[in-house]
Structure 1
Amino acid sequence: MSDPTTPTPSAPTGPVPHGTVEHGPAGPELVVTRTFRAPAADVWASLTEPERLARWIGYWEGDPSTGRVQFFMTAEGDDPEPEEYRITRCEPPHRFAGDTAMGDQTWHLAFDLAEEDGVTTLTFRQVLGPSDDARNVGPGWEYYLERLTAVREGRDVATVEWEPYLAGLADHYEQAQANAS
């Protein structure tokens, strides 16, 4: 019989990491995965259609057939400055890649969707440049992808708070970046 005064181990609280840092063709890459009980085409729409994208992170304007759009990151404020987004790969509903820049900083982002038996796995990637710190970038994308998950599950994105992601996942991503070096 167990001693009732001995605490039992509890499940971890707070965000759980879904990613790591790997060696990619262009250098170290942050890689974060999520799974959804939905067809790839439906998940693709959540990631690419302006109205659905706006529910969790922002929206784009322009003509994607030109290879460039303006992206507005509304998840961080109501009046965002547009960021030019250059589309480098678009293979609906499975692969997308693009580059965006703000000031001197450039980000190379991509996602792949793989569907099996009605479950779609999203694999998100960001090339980590010399000035990118996985302590911030990793928790940031975990936070945004949790907002995507919330929207897809019918939950209010306002219930997903940023601070627990930074506090709870920064060390994980720092270690992952160190291990990839």
Structure 2
Amino acid sequence: MTQIRGTVTRIDGRPNLILTRHFAASAAEIWRELTVSDRLERWIGRWEGDPASGTVDFFMTAESADATAEQYAILECDPPRRFAGDTSMGAGAWHLWFELHEDAAGTTLTFGQRLNPGEDVGSIGPGWEYYLDRLVAAHDGKDVATVAWDDYYPALKDAYQALAP
């Protein structure tokens, strides 16, 4: 069974769900996995538009081939170190961010989502575990379909719900 690897930590007084993954690769290579649309689509979805405008449309194609676009505001982009942005889901908008730290052993990805009051950490946590493991599989050249959703949800639901702020 897949184990919980996330934590909830306060950053600037607000709870953030934090997950990490390590890669035997450069930060620049992992940055591309997270920001280049055709590489991103291998494990979660694609974006369209001009990032220089400050917004792009994101399509979560891993959930559906005909996914509806979600506007994403780019708040911070410091390649290959840090990225932050907000989805446009109104009161339920998500603030997502990641940081890459490279050392002699490779690169550590720290991924975070600021949690809004009342959000269901019991489904959000397993979801990000699943997608980040798909990222690892894609980066390693493996078939992302080998990462099975049923290994994450509902298996990790209660453990993540226990982390709720």
TM-score (normalised: structure 2)? 0.96
Q: Is the 8 A contact 1:21 1:173 kept in 2?
A: no
Structure 1 gaps of 5+ residues are 1-13
Q: Is the 8 A contact 1:39 1:118 kept in 2?
A: no
> C-alpha separation between the residues in 2 aligned to 1:62 and 1:115?
29
RMSD, matched Cα: 1.1
Residue 140 of structure 1 aligns with which residue?
Answer: 127
Which structure is larger by alpha-carbon Rg, 1 or 2? Answer: 1
Percent identity for Structure 1 against Structure 2: 52
> What amino acid is aligned across from residue 163 of structure 2 in structure 1?
A
Residue 4 of structure 1 aligns with which residue?
Answer: none
2:73 is equivalent to residue 86 of structure 1: yes
Residue 71 of structure 1 aligns with which residue?
Answer: 58
Give secondary structure in 2 for the equivalent of 1:35: strand
State the 4+ residue runs in structure 1 displaced beyond 2 angstroms. Answer: 101-104
Q: 1:27-81 CA distances to partner (integer Å, 9 max, x unpaired)?
A: 1110000000000000000000001001000010110001000000001011000
> What amino acid is aligned across from residue 70 of structure 1 in structure 2?
D
Structure 2 gaps of 5+ residues are none
How big is the shift at 1:118? Answer: 4.0
2:18 is equivalent to residue 31 of structure 1: yes
Q: Is the 8 A contact 2:72 2:87 kept in 1?
A: yes
TM-score (normalised: structure 1)? 0.88
